[in-house]
Chains A and B, each alone.
Chain A
Amino acid sequence: MVKENSGNNGQEEKQFSRRDFLKTTGVAAGGIAGGALLGGFTGFQFGSDQESDSAETGTGGETAGGEGGSEAPEYAARTYFSRQEDFAALAAAAERIYPEDDNGPGAIELGVPYFIDKQCYGTWGSNGTDYRMGPFQPMASDTHGRQEKLNRGEMFLLGIRRMREYAVEEHDAEFVDLEGDVQDEVLKAFEAGEVEVAGMRSEAFFSLLRNTTIEGVYSDPVYGGNKNMEGWKMIQYPGPRMGWMDQITSEEFVEMEPESLRAYQGGGM
């Protein structure tokens, strides 16, 4: 993945951008999904104007701290989602949950797809701390929390594949090729529990997708999202600190440059 950065028109674009995303997923390089996917991305919510906006945001990110990994090389890669077309659909869906706008970057630029990939790969993705003994009755109740036999990683994979299939069924196109508002229609159908998905309720998949996307936007950059702490900058969250004994009674809102967990721990070793 490091090599791919060097091919970026000679630009030192250190922030994770949509362009990097297209490269790392292999879409821009003419991967197996070919031009349809590429067309889908370029025709979808980012015009070239917004792309130059991101470049500007990226410059701001570089000067603002350097604790969140903005100067680190980009190592993000998929270790859970095998099929790049699934990952591209996941990314497109996450971007609809948390879109790029005037406030700042969206899910893709913040690294959220890779955050989700890492989460799926780990203990949480395999429900390692959950009760997993049967009998399983995934559809028996809508008020008993998660009852699926599938683990979270499997729910993501099968849910995304069903979402892609549903897009073709209903709109005759791959999810990533749909206009943003049509993608929203697909997501809303899942959200409303209207789509049949084997082993789970469609709203269970949607809430997993929604919540994990937001976690990727706002959790510490160490987990792979919230790239350069841009999520925290947008929401003016300063990150972990020893405390705010001196500011706690302040009448004014206290704005600070964010610091990451790595900075808080002192890094090193």
Chain B
Amino acid sequence: MVERLDKVEAVVVGMGWAGGIVAAELAKAGKDVVGLEKGNHATRSDYIGVKDELRFDNRFEIMQPLKGDTVTSRNEIDETALPVRTMADNQLGTDLGGASVHWAGASYRYWPYEFEIRSQTIDRYGEDKIPEDMNLQDWGITYEELEPYYEKWEDTAGISGEQDPLAPERNKPWPNPPLNETPSLKLFKDATANLGLHPFQIAAGNMSQNYENPDGEKLNACMYCSFCTRAGCDFDAKSDPLATVIPTAMRHDNFELRTRANVRRVLYDEENNEAIGVMYVDETTGEEFEQPADVVVLAAFAFTNNRLLMLSNIGEQYDPETREGLIGRNFNGQHNSAFHGVRGFFENEKFNLYMGAGALGAAVNDYAADNFDHSDLDFIGGGAIELRQYGFAAISSSNNHTREVSNWGADYKAESLKYAYSALQIWYTSIAMSYWHNYLDLDPTYKDEYGDPLLRVTYKFGSNERPIAQFGVDRCHEIMEEMGADIIEDDEIAEEFNHVFSGGHYTGGVVMGDDPETSAVNNYLQMWDVDNLFVVGGSAFPQFGGHHPTPTIGALAYRAAEGVIRFLDEDGGQLATAKSKTMRA
């Protein structure tokens, strides 16, 4: 028996950054809003006293267990996909705060070029520059339009940073000064400056000082304890929803949080193109509920946003054979072609690499976006070159050995002990494109614990991935040479996507734009077909940018929240006007 609950103004599915922002903004605006989170009601206390590499980095304590639900994966459209079975190969955030609890904190804005990548690439290099296989699209919003929302997210999150000399000048400084500079960062900055590049300290979602955000939430200065990535912060020192938007939402009686509420369907009135609410299972009791709402906001991870639309028969499923349909189209993300670079081994340097913070690092953006001439290059776009000092515990540090020795035995032991703190890695955070042959749909074979089909990923590298990765390795090599490493090892570029989803940077499938022929949502992340359904999060990225995704997800969530409030205040309708130019590749 499904129990039907009282109607609310808005129901928000997923309580990470995206859902937390929408919930907090709606709560502040006095809207009657329910937030549904599939995972547990995590609190700060869950992360205190438990700094334990094996538990968090190797056993993935705060990632979503895959027992009941994972994705299947394949490269080719005529292959049989296999399920991604272990958390080593599929790390999805779960519990209150979502993936934003375990993120590292790298906080780059995307570039003006990246939001208008199709138009600007054609302007500068001509239409022939865009390869046949690529579904390159503008976002339907410009950097200038999104900038106030970036600023709002950065202020809420308390980002610590300094002006990147190559980025558009900021309207005001970052809310906090940059984190401390360590010897490894200084080495990178000096070397890149010597090469005529423009180093800066990476903007970090780790507090450089105590901070109170505009909503009155207090955060503490980071202690550089190193348990950031894949762990939760024990000190309210990381920009995460548990320290910011969730307590803000919870302060309002018109917001109600329900955890262990696993949404399985959007309830949809096909005749009127209207979302009625959602159906969810209480994962504690097994009971099913229907939560009706005036507005439904899907704000889960990109996989879940896509799958819920597919399971609910909303919108047209993308079909690569006909290239028709929009849901699942332009699936993208930083797979195993991004984050390639080099590793440098130093005979006479020893760095305190067991100390650190998630986004403690330095970068150059000379090879980002279109900051360098692509006329003679066989790829489009770019990325940052970064050196990060996350803080590495012992199991991780034991991987610091050259390829001259295998990863076991006496030579391995001797060399990994020698280089544990004398190896530095730099990498290229390269852009990732969308292609006609990469998409999401429902798997014909594998089911979740309720008997619903799993989401199927079809992904292979397109024409951009390997060339841009090799370019990044070469630039990283030059920098590492200047840094004075005694041995430099270049990363090998993978031949093909390896079905590992470990980085969390998987986006698209319900992409935004200004043309309903090539986008599923408008630039408020409101569905073109269903006025009262907003699909918020990385699922809206038409292609990936050349940096980490979180600030852009945060900015778009603020934009979407404004849209939902307008929709509720102005009695509905489309918030954006479609432009009819078709840009399909």
Verify B86–A130 contact, CB threshold 8 A: yes
Please give the distance in Å from A252's CB to the nearest CB on chain B: 8
Partner of A131, one of B70, B222, B351, B498: B70
Q: Does B83 contact A (CB under 8 A)?
A: yes
Q: Does B268 contact A (CB under 8 A)?
A: no
Q: Given A237-B397, A247-B355, is A129 in contact with B65 using a C-beta cutoff of 8 Å?
A: yes
Q: Given A133-B447, A249-B180, is A235 in contact with B394 using a C-beta cutoff of 8 Å?
A: yes
A215 to B408, CA, bound (A): 12
Contact residues in B for A147 (Cβ distance below 8 Å) = 82, 85
Please give the distance in Å from B132's CB to the nearest CB on chain A: 26
Partner of B85, one of A145, A236, A254, A261: A145
Please give the distance in Å from A138's CB to the nearest CB on chain B: 10
Q: Is the interface of A mostly helix, strand, loop or mixed?
A: loop
Partner of A128, one of B67, B180, B410: B67
Verify A210–B407 contact, CB threshold 8 A: yes
Q: Given A130-B86, A244-B352, is A249 in contact with B66 using a C-beta cutoff of 8 Å?
A: no
A187 to B409, CA, bound (A): 11
Q: Which residue of B lies closest to A106 (CB)?
A: B413
Verify A130–B85 contact, CB threshold 8 A: yes
Q: Does B129 contact A (CB under 8 A)?
A: no
Verify A124–B59 contact, CB threshold 8 A: yes
Which residues 341-365 of B have a CB within 8 angstroms of A? 350-352, 354-356
Q: Does A80 contact B (CB under 8 A)?
A: no
Verify A210–B408 contact, CB threshold 8 A: yes
Contact residues in B for A140 (Cβ distance below 8 Å) = 80, 82
Contact residues in A for B352 (Cβ distance below 8 Å) = 244, 247-248, 250, 253-254
Binding stretch for chain B, among A30-38, A59-67, A96-104, A162-170:
A96-104
Verify B66–A131 contact, CB threshold 8 A: yes
Q: Does A86 contact B (CB under 8 A)?
A: no
Please give the distance in Å from B85's CB to the nearest CB on chain A: 5
Q: Does B53 contact A (CB under 8 A)?
A: yes
A97 to B180, CA, bound (A): 38
Contact residues in B for A210 (Cβ distance below 8 Å) = 407-408
A170 to B1, CA, bound (A): 63
Which residues 200-259 of A have a CB within 8 angstroms of B? 210, 213-215, 217-220, 223, 231-232, 234-238, 240-245, 247-251, 253-254
Q: Does B42 contact A (CB under 8 A)?
A: no
Please give the distance in Å from A25's CB to the nearest CB on chain B: 22
Verify B355–A248 contact, CB threshold 8 A: yes
A98 to B180, CA, bound (A): 37
A100 to B283, CA, bound (A): 48
Q: Does B250 contact A (CB under 8 A)?
A: no
Q: Which residue of A lies closest to B497 (CB)?
A: A143
A137 to B408, CA, bound (A): 29
Contact residues in B for A266 (Cβ distance below 8 Å) = 49
Q: Given A130-B66, A131-B83, is A237 in contact with B224 using a C-beta cutoff of 8 Å?
A: no
Instruction: Please tell me the size bucket of the interface on A.
Output: 35 or more
Please give the distance in Å from B60's CB to the nearest CB on chain A: 8
Partner of B394, one of A213, A231, A251, A253: A231
Q: Does A7 contact B (CB under 8 A)?
A: no
Verify B66–A219 contact, CB threshold 8 A: no
Contact residues in B for A83 (Cβ distance below 8 Å) = none
Contact residues in A for B84 (Cβ distance below 8 Å) = 131, 144-145
A170 to B550, CA, bound (A): 54
Per-residue interface assignment for chain B, residues 200 to 237, with 1 indicating a CB less than 8 Å from any chain A CB and 0 otherwise: 00000000000000000000011111110000000100
Q: Which residue of B lies closest to A148 (CB)?
A: B85
A236 to B392, CA, bound (A): 12
Verify B394–A237 contact, CB threshold 8 A: yes
Instruction: Count contacts on B: residues with CB < 8 A to the other chain.
Output: 64
Please give the distance in Å from B393's CB to the nearest CB on chain A: 6
Contact residues in B for A135 (Cβ distance below 8 Å) = 445
Per-residue interface assignment for chain B, residues 388 to 413, with 1 indicating a CB less than 8 Å from any chain A CB and 0 otherwise: 00000111011000000001111001
Please give the distance in Å from A261's CB to the nearest CB on chain B: 6
Partner of B86, one of A127, A137, A220: A127
Contact residues in B for A240 (Cβ distance below 8 Å) = 51-52, 225, 227
Q: Does A78 contact B (CB under 8 A)?
A: no
Q: Given A235-B417, A253-B350, A264-B51, is A131 in contact with B223 using a C-beta cutoff of 8 Å?
A: no
Contact residues in A for B110 (Cβ distance below 8 Å) = none
Please give the distance in Å from A259's CB to the nearest CB on chain B: 11
Q: Does A9 contact B (CB under 8 A)?
A: no
Contact residues in B for A213 (Cβ distance below 8 Å) = 408
Q: Does A184 contact B (CB under 8 A)?
A: yes
Contact residues in B for A145 (Cβ distance below 8 Å) = 84-86, 88-89, 499-500
Q: Does A146 contact B (CB under 8 A)?
A: yes
Q: Which residue of A lies closest to B68 (CB)?
A: A131
Q: Does A171 contact B (CB under 8 A)?
A: no
Contact residues in A for B50 (Cβ distance below 8 Å) = 261
Q: Does B289 contact A (CB under 8 A)?
A: no
Q: Which residue of A lies closest to B181 (CB)?
A: A249
A1 to B58, CA, bound (A): 30
Per-residue interface assignment for chain A, residues 138 to 166, with 1 indicating a CB less than 8 Å from any chain B CB and 0 otherwise: 00110111110000000000000000000
Q: Which residue of A lies closest to B421 (CB)?
A: A253
Please give the distance in Å from A263's CB to the nearest CB on chain B: 11
Q: Does B438 contact A (CB under 8 A)?
A: no
A236 to B420, CA, bound (A): 9
Q: Which residue of B lies closest to A234 (CB)?
A: B417
Q: Does B87 contact A (CB under 8 A)?
A: yes
A129 to B225, CA, bound (A): 28
Verify A215–B89 contact, CB threshold 8 A: no
Please give the distance in Å from A147's CB to the nearest CB on chain B: 6
A264 to B51, CA, bound (A): 9
Q: Does B414 contact A (CB under 8 A)?
A: yes
Q: Does B73 contact A (CB under 8 A)?
A: yes
Q: Does B583 contact A (CB under 8 A)?
A: no
Per-residue interface assignment for chain A, residues 103 to 123, with 1 indicating a CB less than 8 Å from any chain B CB and 0 otherwise: 100000000000000000000
Besides A129-B87, A143-B498, A235-B398, 7 other A-B contacts (C-beta < 8 A): A97-B408, A99-B413, A128-B65, A130-B87, A145-B84, A145-B85, A218-B398
| 11 CB-based A-B contacts, threshold 8 Å | A127-B86, A130-B65, A130-B86, A130-B87, A131-B69, A220-B52, A220-B54, A235-B420, A244-B352, A248-B355, A254-B355
6 closest Cβ pairs, A-B complex: A243-B223, A240-B51, A218-B394, A219-B54, A129-B65, A145-B89
